Copies of this chain bind each other. A is one copy, B any other.
Amino acid sequence: MPLDDLGEFDLIARIVGRLGDAAARDIAVPPGDDAAAWAVGPGLAVATVDALVEGTHWRRDTMSLGDVGWRAIATAVSDLAAMGAAASYVLIAAELGPGLTPEDLDDFADGVAASCRCHGVRVAGGNVAAARATSFTTTAFGSAAADGVTDAAADPDATAQAVLRRDAACPGDAVAVSGTPGAAAAGLALIEAALIEGGAASEDAAPLLAAHRRPRARLALGRAALAAGARCAIDLSDGLLQDLGHVARASNVGIEIEAALLPLHHAAVALLGPARALALALGGGEDYELALTAPAATLDALAAHEPPEAPLTRIGRVVAEHRGEVVARDAAGQVVQPSIAGWDQLHSPTQ
């Protein structure tokens, strides 16, 4: 059935119904009015928006609409994780391109619902519009406790305690990452290789494919890091070197990475070789892991308590030299030149 046999409002009702308990039906104004409303206590509102555009961020031959739904939640919520915020609600704006069917949107809604349950958020509202290309834009809302914070100008110190920021790295900090950076990019590389060869990716690739299609935002880690005293984080969406570059410039510090310490995924090394696995770890995007900077003791204490699905690994340090720059070195101390440029939303990925 083509999508426009359903009217706009029947389609919205169908999607909200499909979401089940992932739709926030018990908030003050649930989905269905001009806007959603929910009760908040005093503190900081934390909000972010992210888009998944067909052809730019996903293709129908590399992931299902269910995967897109999962990622629509995970990628937005990941920005809240990087702030150390608690995540609560999302709004989803769907632009529906030609060829989408109601069943496609059922799949999308199922993926959204599963991801919402995984990440502890619910859908409070959204928007649908016909378009010449399909995309899903998710706004994620969260909160942070902030005793006495009114705004940054009034009390920057109080704000500094309330969230993780990318401009809070200090020379002397250690740098750590969660999980296995490059796994998502390795998954995509294997999916694309299998498409070219006409077969399916090998079973050994399954965890890498999942890293690409069903990433998990590190909300618990972000909050634990803030509680442990960390002040600086970023999520790995554009690629490790590029994301740490954002930290280096925002904090006006240098960052040094020891390539040998990078926790490569064993399947990426086995299937793509160590050189390619390293390149993807440095330059491949969309991991949605967290990079943190903090005193080494803070990171070590945090690592000791982290759940095993996203172990924290120290990979380098923050320095007062080469401010604004990230340098990765191999075991011999030689600078590793990145072979993959990292994501730029105005250019195609180079992988």
Chain B contacts for A194, CB-based, 8 A: none
Cα(A135)–Cα(B134), bound, Å: 11
Are A93 and B344 touching (Cβ within 8 A)?
no
| Chain B contacts for A50, CB-based, 8 A | 93, 127
User: Count the A residues whose beta carbon is within 8 Å of the partner chain — how many?
Assistant: 88
Q: In the bound complex, how far is the Cα of B232 from the Cα of A33, in angstroms? A: 11
A40–B43 contact, CB under 8 A?
A: yes
CA distance A38 to B40 in the complex (A): 13
Counted per complex, copies of this chain come to 2
Q: In A183-227, which residues have CB < 8 Å from any B CB?
A: none
Task: Verify if A239 is at the interface (C-beta below 8 Å from B).
Answer: no
Report whether B131 and A53 are in contact in the complex, using a CB–CB cutoff of 8 Å.
yes
Among A8-48, those with CB < 8 Å from B are 8-9, 11, 26-30, 32-48
Docked-complex contact B8 and A56, CB < 8 angstroms: no
| A37 and B83 within 8 A (CB) | yes
The answer to whether A38 and B33 touch (CB under 8 A), given A51-B129, A133-B131, A344-B7, is no
Q: Which residue of B lies closest to A36 (CB)?
A: B47
CA distance A44 to B30 in the complex (A): 12
CB atoms of B163 and A29 under 8 A apart: yes
A132 to B85, CA, bound (A): 33
Q: State whether the Cβ of A350 lies closer than 8 Å to any Cβ in chain B.
A: no
Is A37 a contact of B44 with CB atoms below 8 Å? yes
* Cross-chain contact A45 with B45 (CB below 8 angstroms): yes
